[in-house]
Structure 1
Amino acid sequence: MPLVPPPRPKAAPAPRPSDTADVPSSSVLSGNQPEWSVGELSAKLKQTLEDRFGHVRLRGEISGFRGVHGSGHAYFALKDGQAKIDAVVWKGVYGRLRQKPQEGLEVVATGKITTFPGKSSYQIVIDGLEPAGLGAWMALLEERRKKLAAEGLFLPEHRKPIPFLPRVVGVVTSPTGAVIRDILHRLQDRFPRPVLVWPVRVQGEGAAEEVAAAIRGFNALPAAGPIPRPDLLIVARGGGSIEDLWAFNEECVVRAAFESAIPLISAVGHETDTTLIDHVSDRRAPTPTGAAEMAVPVRAELVALVADLAARGGGAVRRRIERDRADLRGLARAMPGPDMLLAGKRQRLDLAEARLAPALAAGAARHRARLQAVLDRLARHSPELALAQARTRLARVDDRAARALRVDLRRRQDGLADLGRRLVLARDSGLERARTLEARRRDRLTGVVARLVQAGRRDAERRRARLDALAGLLGTLSYRAVLDRGFALVRDPEGRPLRHAQEAAAAALLSLQFADGSVEAVPSGAPAPDLSPGKPKRGAPRGPKPTPAKQGTLFEI
Structure 2
Amino acid sequence: MPDLLSPDSPTNAAEFTVSELSGALKRTVEDAFGNVRVRGEISGYRGPHSSGHAYFALKDDRARLEAVIWKGTFARLKFRPEEGMEVIAQGKLTTYPGSSKYQIVIDSIEPAGAGALMALLEERKRRLAAEGLFEQARKQLLPFMPRVIGVVTSPTGAVIRDIIHRISDRYPLHVLVWPVRVQGETTGMEVSNAVAGFNALQPGGAIPRPDVLIVARGGGSLEDLWGFNDEAIVRAVATSGIPVISAVGHETDWTLIDLAADVRAPTPTGAAEMAVPVKADLEATLASLGARLKNCSSRNFDRKRQALRAAARALPSADQLLALPRRRFDEASARLDRCLNVGIERKRARFAGLRLTPATLERRMAEAGRHLARLGARIPGAHSALLRDRSHRLARSAARLGLEPLLRRMSACDDRVANLGRRADRAADVRLARLSDRLSQAARLNASLSYKAVLDRGFVVVHDASGAPVKRAATLGAGDQVSLQFADASTGAVIVGEVGPAKPRPKAAPSSKTPPAGQGSLF
> Where on the TM-score scale, by shorter chain, does this alignment land: which range?
0.5 to 0.7
Question: Could you tell which deviates more after superposition, 312-321 or 157-166?
Answer: 157-166
Matched residue, 1:249: 229
Partner of 1:309: 289
Asked if the contact 1:25/1:33 (under 8 Å) is kept, the reply is no
Structure 1 residues 56-95: aligned runs within 5 Å: 56-65=36-45, 73-90=53-70, 93-94=73-74
Shift of 1:302: 2.1
Equivalent position of 2:264 in the other structure = 284
CA displacement 1:317-352 (0-9 Å, x = unmatched)? 11111111111111112222345545777999999x
Match of 1:167 among 133, 142, 147: 147
1:124 to 82, 100, 104: 104
AA in 2 matched with 1:299: K
Equivalent position to 2:242, from 262, 270, 275: 262
1:341-386 deviations in Å (ceiling 9; x for gaps): 45777999999x9xxx9xxxxxxxxxxxxxxxxx9xx899854355
Over 3 Å counting, the alpha-carbon distance change for 1:387 and 1:298 in structure 2 is: closer
State whether structure 2 residue 261 is matched by structure 1 residue 272: no
Deviations 1:161-209 (A, max 9, x none): 1122222222211222222222222223222223222222111121221
1:195 equivalenced with 2:175 (yes/no): yes
What's the RMSD between the two structures over aligned residues?
A: 3.9
2:215 to 197, 210, 235: 235
- Flag the 1:107–1:386 CA change in 2: closer, same or farther, 3 A: same
Would you say how many aligned residue pairs link Structure 1 and Structure 2?
Answer: 361
Q: Which of the numbers 26, 30, 33 marks the counterpart of 1:53?
A: 33
Task: Measure, in 2, the Cα distance between the counterparts of 1:119 and 1:228.
Answer: 61
Which whole-Å CA distance do the structure 1 matches of 2:80 and 2:221 have between them?
Answer: 20
The residue aligned with 2:127 is: 147
After TM superposition, give the deviation of residue 247 of structure 1 in Å.
Answer: 0.8
Structure with the greater alpha carbon radius of gyration: 2
Percent identity between the two aligned chains: 58
Match in the other structure for 2:376: 387
- Give the Å deviation of 1:287: 1.1
Residue type of the partner of 1:144? R
Residue aligning to 1:518: none
Match of 2:494 in 1: none
Show CA shifts across 1:460-510 (max 9, x none): xxxxxxxxxxxxxxxxxxxxxxxxxxxxxxxxxxxxxxxxxxxxxxxxxxx
Normalised TM-score (structure 2): 0.60
Measured after TM superposition, the shift of residue 68 of structure 1 is 5.5
**Shift in Å, 1:144:** 0.8
- Equivalent of residue 186 in structure 2, options 206, 229, 239: 206
Give ranges in structure 1 of 5+ residues lacking alignment: 1-18, 358-374, 399-403, 409-557
**Helix, strand or coil for the counterpart of 2:173?**
coil
Q: Relative to structure 2, which stretch is displaced further, 169-178 or 24-33? A: 24-33
Letter of the structure 2 residue corresponding to residue 287 of structure 1: T
Structure 2: stretches of 5+ with no match in the other structure: 336-341, 343-363, 388-407, 413-523
Q: Distance in 2 between matches of 1:59 and 1:131?
A: 9
Q: Is the 8 A contact 1:159 1:282 kept in 2?
A: yes
Show the counterpart of 2:92. Answer: 112
Counterpart Cα distance in 2 of 1:384 and 1:66? 123
Output the TM-score relative to the length of structure 1: 0.57
How has the CA–CA distance of structure 1 residues 317 and 81 changed in structure 2, closer, same or farther, with 3 Å as cutoff? Answer: same
CA contact (8 A) 1:154 1:280 kept: yes
Alignment check: 8 A CA contact 2:5 2:12 kept: no
Whole-angstrom distance in 1 between the partners of 2:210 and 2:162 = 19
| Aligned equivalent of 1:510 | none
Aligned match of 2:298: 318
Task: Map Cα deviations across residues 423-468 of structure 1 (whole Å, 9 max, x no partner).
Answer: xxxxxxxxxxxxxxxxxxxxxxxxxxxxxxxxxxxxxxxxxxxxxx
SS of the counterpart of 1:297?
coil
8 Å CA contact retained: 2:2, 2:16:
no
CA shift for structure 1 position 132: 0.6
Q: Quote the Cα distance in structure 2 between the aligned partners of 1:262 and 1:176.
A: 25
Alignment of 1:127-526 (within 5 A): 127-338=107-318, 340-341=320-321, 383-384=372-373, 386-387=375-376, 390=379
Listed one character per residue, the Cα deviations across residues 2-50 of structure 1 (whole Å, up to 9, x for unaligned) are xxxxxxxxxxxxxxxxx754xx699995467664332332233223322
Q: 2: distance between equivalents of 1:228 and 1:240?
A: 33
How far the C-alpha of 1:394 sits from its partner, in A, is 7.8
AA of the residue aligned to 2:153? T
